[in-house]
Structure 1
Amino acid sequence: MLELDGVETFYGASQALFGVDLAMAEGEAVALMGRNGMGKTTTIRSIFGLSPLRRGTVRFAGHDISSAKPYRIARLGLGLVPEGRRCFPNLTVAENLLASARRGFWTIKEVHALFPRLAERSGQYANSLSGGEQQMLAVGRALMANPRLIVLDEATEGLAPVIRQEIWKAIAALKQQGQSILVVDKTLSELLPVADRCFVLERGRTVWSGVPAELTGAIQDRYLGV
């Protein structure tokens, strides 16, 4: 479904990715892992055309999207929950959801069933929500586009534990429904139970891939420890 082959990305003259490889099949939940500053968000930006590739290829659902515009990539069925939430602050919860709506399974009713708090706050402006509620809204907005693959970049960072649990519960529910998921997160105890496979980045390179059971303590200490 999604394949990255030797992806190299630059910010001006500074190289950020040095050959990222990743592959996932439809219906999989894949974890993209690594310490801070190792290239995870840049990899996400490269997939969505937000940071153009210098070399390598990105393929999605049989299409080469290496040089495609972000809006064309979204139309192919890629949905993003970006780091930092980025809801439309001066739109209501309902308006935020409708802004990205496309025909399919996910409607406002289905999003409300996944996140009942959004139903309770449907008429509130996004900038009046708590951080956790804004994160729920960001996930719901991405789902309203009915994506074939949803990508979550640090979806639970900085949230209270009870809200984190709600987000992870929702991610687990999406996986059970067969939704393809690519997720970036640092909390292994919550990330690994929902992941079918893992890819680890270090200094802009893919340095390890495998199933969660193979992610031993030694590997974690080498690539993921503080």
Structure 2
Amino acid sequence: MMLLDVQEIQTFYGGSQALFGVRLSMAEGEVVALMGRNGMGKSTTIKSICNLMPPKSGRIIFAGTPTDRQPPHRVARLGIGLVPEGRRCFPNLSVYENLVAAARSGHWTLERVNQLFPRLAERRDQMARSLSGGEQQMLAVGRALMTNPKLLILDEATEGLAPVIRQDIWRAIRTLKGEGLSILVVDKTLSELLPVADRCVILENGRNVWQGRPGDLSGDLQDRYLGV
């Protein structure tokens, strides 16, 4: 069943156009990698899906519901859990308070999040601002899971983290995929991203330039659209 259908969206920053007819679709249980160099429209696409930056044209349908006239909090309640770039935990709340702040009943409980990220259980009463960057990223993922989303969106979830923490995040992503959670993920670590993805969508200058299965993403395509 189709979970997300992004149809030819055009999104602007003021008078400057950022997306030019971007298309993206996801089935339930699918993991899709949204790829491209920096500044090519990946984060803008995510913000448009969440209606944080409403497209000026095109259409987005999530779980059978058009989202274009829904405020961001209602889009989230449809079942989208966002882990934004830069983590953005509530710094003056404890780990526990961050996790339960937007929690909704369902499969993901505090106990299950703590099983996925044992460090969060160890730091239950610490203020989020006192955590390391990697621990804050775990907290951001856990907070999104506590909303019991139908779709989890990860925007650069491992950027700037120590290698051991990156491995913890990727382990969690593999676990979530194994449980059938739909995931839209942006990340530059192709060695970890491609094995977990079912499909890849590449953007360049706010436009779709390629999509297909990870095994079809040749070295030439990587150099052309993803190389520095």
Deviation at 1:26, TM superposition (A): 0.2
CA distance in 1, matches of 2:126, 2:151: 28
Identity %: 69
Partner residue of 1:201 out of 195, 200, 203: 203
Aligned-partner Cα distance in 1 for 2:93–2:193: 31
The question of 1:82 aligning with 2:84 is answered yes
Aligned to 2:98: 96
Cα shift at 1:66: 2.0
Kept in 2: contact 1:53–1:67 (CA 8 A): no
Distance in 1 separating the partners of 2:152 and 2:181? 8
Q: Equivalent residues in 2 for 1:100-179 (5 A)?
A: 100-179=102-181
Q: Deviations over 1:67-107 (max 9, x none)?
A: 31101101100110000000000000000000011000111
CA distance in 1, matches of 2:173, 2:102: 19
TM-score (norm 2): 0.98
Paired position in structure 1 for 2:10: 8
Paired residue secondary structure (1:44): helix
Corresponding letter in the other structure for 1:89: P
1:52, distance to aligned residue in structure 2 (A): 1.2
> Which residue of structure 1 lines up, in the alignment, with residue 190 of structure 2?
188
**How many Å separate the matches in 2 of 1:55 and 1:202?**
19
- Which residue of the partner structure matches residue 57 of structure 1? 59
Looking at structure 2, the residues matched to 72 and 101 of structure 1 have their Cα atoms a distance apart, in angstroms, of 15
Aligned length: 226
The answer for unaligned runs of 5 or more in structure 1 is none
The C-alpha deviation readout for 1:35-87, integer Å capped at 9, x for no partner, is 00000000000000100111111110111112311011011001100000000
Residue identity in the other structure for 2:151 = L
1:46 is matched with 48
